[in-house]
């Protein structure tokens, strides 16, 4: 691609410039955008090949693949932005089935008029996240849609990883008496996003928990604990994730409300909006179902990792043909923790 | 119905407005429906408006009563462990 | 959270539960209606029924503004958007309420026609609607104002503010309803009046409504109907204490209005807010409540002096009654005559994802609360 470089009259104006339709036309403007904005930041040997597809070395094991479209409003929020979120989201999807993430592909849908400065910030954040995680972005694509047809930028990331045969985790393996562990305080990503929405007018020091979890998960595997299921409780929160696992495994679950790690600001913001932190999205947490005798060992391994300091056992699995997830409330009563219904809307009553 | 929360007033602002706080979450609300609210007072907030002031003494009395009722029940049970 | 967490203390709860067990008479049943959806939510969310002796039965009342909003009112809001081209501001709660033709505000927002994302806005405060009107001077902006006496004073304030600002593009679709007439309607309903299997022995009165109206407006319940009323806070310990106070009144044969929520409620209520409501609103001769039917003098409309801010007048739209699903038991459930599990639509046709009746829409509705938090109890009973 560097051969075309000399053909550019002027470098991209990363201060004042905006995306226009020519950036998606496939012509010289597209090539310039890719080279000066994307490749320069995300640069690695595979991306630098400049071909239509990346040709990659493949370690032994079974191939694991996952894809995730990222749309978020606002694009920048405390604790992160759509760029690092797109990297973390796909890495985590690979890691929770037991894979070692290897490579990412990223596809951008840009809205005409989107500031190049914001795009550069997003791509820098992606690059930093990918480099910190040790998972390079090896191929990509951009398209431009007319103003009004998009929300600034959408990013789809696809990830490839490997897992040793027999080492993968699946949602149908929870067994009665297993323990349920969550890696840290819940509801932070969702509330950080909500607090940013202007019409709610909150001032709260809540940052998104967005993070790549494969390091923590590798430490969990290394502990030797008999992990049955792992899952990252994103949309729909911990409640929805546990309901998915309960249904897949055909078991019931009983949570202890007093054991749920929730930061006070998150709890307070949830009170304001009439929301339940169990249903609020996380982007840097993992839920583990583990054999009862190994729960302490796994917990210790998680707490020794920076992303698992606040890990806690929040409940246990039991036999239940209805696959209900229930909770003993801090008050001493019992209730169902159901699937999320519809969208989480702020309530006044 | 009517989700409302007790929040502490941390700052009075012009036009009958105030900044309130609940465990590290701040929000600007209207004091137009209550009289003489001052910084440090707790108010019950609904859809961005303070509905009334919360009386900390009454709250303390209610809590004390909870404890008393529980204690009385416990003593009776201890005195009559077989139950009636 | 000060003044919240203390009132959710599990240890105090077991003490209160013991106190309740101590006063409950074994030879009778106690049937109390919590009028308000807030209390219904508390009872379900904290699993209070597990702490109460089986002699105490809580009946969920109609005090949920979303649940009692008739289909025709949501239809009016959708017509304003689709036919009159207004920008509608709504609290989050009514967005999912089913309207005619399989619509809801959320679906109208997503569906074809004039409505687009920007035409139906979710707001958190009445003041936000005023702001939307000021930011969009070229558009007509309508606030869909729902709620009981708690939510009414803020609406009165924004109408007065709009008048002071001379805002020509702001109006209110007023659906505010009143608590005391709804209580009277339940106590007057034949099933409840006859006593017997569906009698009510006492009422838990609303917390936040009462910060505005005080406890005085409930005195007719004690005097005319001889039923005790305890106005209670929304935290679980508040509800338990209120139940204890009601049991003691019933045992002593008393019928008084008592105030458990003394930390925020007085007998007189908030005079400033009451005066403001009286200045801006007047009684409607009749208003249709979902499930309860037409109740006389049970709702508010905007006074003539503020007519230009009344969306019904400005856009000349009328309420048209729409029949509920014939098998839906919301009416009987709202009056405490039936339980959610006694409706044959419950949890089969009617679920929180596809609500048929209003009680399934709001998380405070009796059916939704039971579906989301308590339906395992039905299964245990069956199995």
The CATH number that applies at residue C242 is: 3.40.50.11750
Chain B residue numbers touching A348 (CB-CB < 8 A)? 2-3, 46-47
Per-residue pLDDT, C379:
57
Report the phi/psi class of residue C188: left, alpha or beta, with left for phi > 0 and alpha for psi in -120 to 50: alpha
| Mean model confidence pLDDT for chain A | 93
Poorest-pLDDT segment among A35-39, B65-69, B80-84, C353-357: B80-84
Tell me the per-residue pLDDT of A54-109, one tens digit each, with 9 for 90 and over: 999 999 999 999 999 999 999 999 999 999 999 999 999 999 999 999 999 999 99
Report the phi/psi class of residue C271: left, alpha or beta, with left for phi > 0 and alpha for psi in -120 to 50: alpha
Cβ within 8 Å, pair B51-C273: yes
Q: What share of chain A has pLDDT > 70, as a percent?
A: 97
Using the 8-state DSSP alphabet, how is residue C24 labeled? -
Chain A residue numbers touching C65 (CB-CB < 8 A)? 349
Using the 8-state DSSP alphabet, how is residue C102 labeled? G
Taking the alpha carbons at both ends of chain B, their separation in whole angstroms is 39
Q: Which domain holds residue A218?
A: 179-336
CA distance A209 to A131: 18
Same domain? For C16 and C163 the reply is no
Cβ burial, residue C137 (10 Å; 0-12/13-18/19+): exposed
Same domain? For C174 and C198 the reply is no
Cβ within 8 Å, pair C92-A331: no
Using the 8-state DSSP alphabet, how is residue A224 labeled? T
Same domain? For C24 and C85 the reply is no
CA distance A67 to A70: 10
C320 part of a folded domain: no
* ipTM score for this prediction: 0.91
CA distance C263 to A337: 32
CA distance C293 to C185: 10
CA distance A277 to A268: 10
Tell me the per-residue pLDDT of C267-322, one tens digit each, with 9 for 90 and over: 999 999 999 999 999 999 999 998 888 999 999 999 999 999 999 999 999 999 99
Check whether A195 has a pLDDT greater than 90. Answer: no
Q: Which of A130, A163, A196 is the last residue of a domain?
A: A163
**Could you tell me the pLDDT band of residue C33, with boundaries at 50, 70 and 90?**
very high
Say if CB A202 and CB A268 are below 8 A apart: no
Check whether A304 has a pLDDT greater than 70. Answer: yes
Distance of CA A339 to the CA centre of its chain: 20
* C206 closest CA partner among C263, C246, C259: C259
Same domain? For C130 and C49 the reply is no
Report the phi/psi class of residue C359: left, alpha or beta, with left for phi > 0 and alpha for psi in -120 to 50: alpha
Report, at the CATH architecture level, how domain B1-53 is classified. Answer: Roll (2.30)
Per-residue pLDDT, B84:
43
Q: Which of A163, A193, A216 is the last residue of a domain?
A: A163
Cβ within 8 Å, pair B23-A264: yes
Residue labelled with tokens 């997003």: A122
C106 part of a folded domain: yes
Q: Which domain holds residue C217?
A: 5-66+179-251
Same domain? For A14 and A157 the reply is yes
Tell me the per-residue pLDDT of C102-150, one tens digit each, with 9 for 90 and over: 888 988 888 765 445 568 999 989 999 999 999 999 999 999 999 999 9
CA distance C36 to C44: 13
Check whether C381 has a pLDDT greater than 60. Answer: no
What's the Cα-to-Cα distance from A200 to each of A41, A197, A203, B18, B48, rounded to whole Å? Answer: 35, 6, 9, 15, 10
A344 part of a folded domain: no
Helix locations, B1-84, DSSP H = 56-79
Check whether C23 has a pLDDT greater than 60. Answer: yes
Cβ within 8 Å, pair B1-C38: yes
Considering only the beta carbons, identify the residue of B5, B26, B46 that sits closest to A271: B5
CA distance A151 to C129: 24
CA distance B81 to C19: 15
Domain count, chain C: 3
Tell me the per-residue pLDDT of C163-179, one tens digit each, with 9 for 90 and over: 999 999 999 999 999 99
Chain B residue numbers touching A197 (CB-CB < 8 A)? none
CA distance A156 to C286: 55
Cβ within 8 Å, pair A331-C47: yes
Mean pLDDT value of segment A20-46: 90
CA distance A184 to A260: 9
What CATH number is attached to the domain comprising A311? 3.90.650.10
Same domain? For A129 and A233 the reply is no
Q: Which of A109, A128, A163 is the last residue of a domain?
A: A163
Nearest-neighbour CA in chain A from B26: distance (Å): 5
Say if CB C13 and CB A331 are below 8 A apart: yes
Interchain CB contact of A345 with B (< 8 Å): no
Interchain CB contact of B26 with C (< 8 Å): no
Angle at C275 between CA C270 and CA C281, to 5 degrees: 120
C26 part of a folded domain: yes
Considering only alpha carbons, which residue of chain C is nearest residue A329? C46
What CATH number is attached to the domain comprising C82? 3.40.50.11740
Same domain? For C75 and C59 the reply is no
C261 part of a folded domain: no
Same domain? For C309 and C360 the reply is no
Considering only the beta carbons, identify the residue of A199, A334, A348 that sits closest to C93: A348
| Residue A166: strand pairing partners | none
CA distance C81 to C113: 10
Domain boundaries defined on chain B:
1-53, 55-84
| Residue A272: CA count within 13 A, CB half-sphere | 29
Chain A residue numbers touching B24 (CB-CB < 8 A)? 204-205, 264-265, 268
Nearest-neighbour CA in chain B from C113: distance (Å): 31
CA distance A70 to A89: 8
Using the 8-state DSSP alphabet, how is residue B6 labeled? E
CA distance A29 to C134: 41
Say if CB B45 and CB B20 are below 8 A apart: yes
Helix locations, A274-333, DSSP H = 295-303
Q: How many helices (H) and strands (E) does chain A have?
A: 9, 14
Alpha-carbon radius of gyration of chain C: 21
| Residue A146: CA count within 13 A, CB half-sphere | 0
Considering only alpha carbons, which residue of chain C is nearest residue A333? C47
Check whether C383 has a pLDDT greater than 90. Answer: no
* A neighbours by CB contacts (3+ pairs under 8 Å): B, C
Nearest-neighbour CA in chain C from A328: distance (Å): 8
CA distance A117 to A14: 5
Cβ within 8 Å, pair B2-C36: yes
Report the phi/psi class of residue A345: left, alpha or beta, with left for phi > 0 and alpha for psi in -120 to 50: beta
* C287 closest CA partner among C163, C377, C177, C153: C177
**Could you tell me the pLDDT band of residue C353, with boundaries at 50, 70 and 90?**
confident
H helix or E strand, kind and range, residue A138? strand A137-145
Chain B residue numbers touching A195 (CB-CB < 8 A)? 25
Considering only the beta carbons, identify the residue of A331, A332, A348 that sits closest to C91: A348
Same domain? For C38 and C152 the reply is no
- Tell me the backbone φ, ψ of residue A40, rounded to 5 degrees: -60, -35
Considering only the beta carbons, identify the residue of C3, C21, C272 that sits closest to B54: C3
Cβ within 8 Å, pair C153-B35: no
């Amino acid at each position: 691609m560097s051969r075309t470089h000399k053909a550019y009259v002027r470098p991209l104006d990363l201060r004042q410039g905006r995306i226009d339709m020519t950036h998606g036309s496939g012509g010289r403007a597209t090539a310039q955008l890719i080279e000066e904005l994307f490749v320069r930041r995300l640069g690695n040997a595979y991306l630098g090949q400049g071909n239509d597809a990346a040709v990659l070395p493949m370690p032994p094991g079974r191939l694991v693949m996952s894809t995730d479209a990222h749309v978020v409003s606002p694009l920048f929020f405390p604790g992160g932005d759509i760029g690092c979120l797109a990297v973390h989201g796909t890495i985590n999807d690979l890691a929770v089935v037991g894979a070692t993430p290897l490579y990412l592909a990223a596809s951008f849908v840009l809205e005409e008029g989107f500031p190049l400065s914001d795009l550069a910030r997003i791509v820098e954040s992606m690059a930093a996240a990918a480099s910190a995680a040790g998972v390079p972005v090896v191929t990509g694509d951009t398209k431009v849609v007319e103003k009004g047809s998009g929300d600034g930028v959408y990013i789809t990331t696809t990830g490839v990883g490997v897992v040793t045969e027999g080492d993968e985790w699946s949602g149908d393996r929870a067994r009665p008496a297993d323990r349920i562990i969550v890696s840290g305080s819940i509801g932070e990503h969702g509330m950080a996003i909500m607090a940013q929405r202007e019409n709610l007018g909150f001032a709260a020091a809540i940052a998104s928990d967005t993070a790549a979890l494969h390091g923590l998960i590798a430490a969990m595997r290394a502990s030797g604990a008999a992990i049955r299921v792992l899952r990252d409780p994103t949309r729909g929160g911990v409640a929805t994730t546990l309901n998915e696992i309960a249904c897949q495994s055909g078991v019931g679950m009983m949570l202890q409300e007093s054991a749920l790690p929730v930061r006070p600001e998150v709890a307070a913001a949830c009170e304001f909006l009439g929301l339940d932190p169990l249903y609020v999205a996380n982007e840097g947490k993992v839920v583990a179902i583990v054999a009862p005798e190994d729960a302490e060992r796994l917990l210790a391994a998680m707490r020794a990792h920076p992303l698992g300091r606040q890990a806690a056992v929040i409940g246990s699995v039991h036999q239940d043909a209805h696959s209900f997830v229930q909770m003993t409330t801090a008050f001493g009563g019992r209730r169902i923790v159901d699937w999320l219904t519809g969208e989480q809307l702020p309530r006044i009553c | 119905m009517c989700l409302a929360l007790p929040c502490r007033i941390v700052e009075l602002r012009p036009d009958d407005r105030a900044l309130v706080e609940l465990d590290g979450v701040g929000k600007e609300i209207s004091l137009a429906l209550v009289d003489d609210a001052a910084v440090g007072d707790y108010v019950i907030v609904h859809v961005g408006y303070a509905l009334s002031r919360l009386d900390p003494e009454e709250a303390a009395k209610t809590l004390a009563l909870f404890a008393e009722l529980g204690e009385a029940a416990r003593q009776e049970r201890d005195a009559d462990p077989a139950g009636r | 959270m000060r003044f919240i967490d203390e009132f959710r203390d599990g240890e105090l709860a077991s003490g209160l539960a013991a106190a309740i067990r101590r006063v409950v008479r074994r030879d009778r049943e106690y049937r109390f209606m919590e009028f308000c959806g807030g209390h219904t939510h508390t009872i379900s969310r904290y699993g209070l029924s597990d702490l109460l002796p089986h002699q105490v039965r809580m009946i969920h009342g109609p005090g949920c503004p979303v649940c009692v909003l008739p289909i025709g009112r949501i239809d009016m809001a959708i017509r304003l958007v689709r036919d009159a081209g207004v920008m509608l501001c709504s609290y989050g709660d009514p967005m999912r309420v089913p309207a005619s033709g399989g619509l809801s505000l959320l679906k109208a927002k997503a569906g074809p026609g004039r409505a687009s994302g920007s035409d139906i806005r979710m707001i958190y405060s009445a003041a936000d609607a005023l702001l939307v009107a000021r930011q969009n001077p070229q558009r007509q902006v309508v606030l869909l104002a729902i709620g009981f006496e708690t939510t009414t004073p803020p609406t009165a304030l924004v109408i007065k503010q709009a008048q002071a600002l001379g805002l020509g593009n702001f109006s209110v679709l007023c659906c505010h309803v009143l608590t005391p007439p709804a209580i009277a309607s339940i106590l007057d309903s034949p099933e409840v009046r006859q006593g017997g299997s569906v009698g009510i022995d006492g009422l838990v009165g609303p917390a936040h409504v009462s910060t505005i109206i005080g406890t005085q407006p409930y005195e007719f319940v004690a005097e005319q109907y001889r039923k005790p009323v305890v106005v209670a806070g929304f935290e679980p310990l508040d509800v338990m204490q209120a139940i204890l106070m009601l049991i003691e009144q019933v045992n002593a044969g008393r019928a008084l209005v008592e105030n458990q929520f003394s930390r925020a409620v007085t007998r007189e209520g908030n005079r400033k807010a009451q005066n403001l409501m009286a200045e801006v609103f007047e009684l409607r001769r009749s208003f249709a409540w979902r499930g309860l039917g037409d109740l006389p003098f049970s709702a508010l409309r905007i006074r003539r002096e503020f007519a230009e801010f009344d969306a019904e007048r400005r856009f000349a739209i009328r309420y048209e009654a729409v029949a509920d699903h014939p098998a839906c038991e919301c009416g009987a459930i709202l009056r405490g005559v039936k339980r959610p599990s006694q409706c044959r639509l419950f949890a089969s046709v009617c679920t929180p994802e596809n609500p048929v009746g209003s009680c399934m829409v709001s998380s405070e509705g009796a059916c939704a609360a039971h579906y989301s938090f308590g339906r395992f109890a039905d299964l245990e009973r069956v199995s």
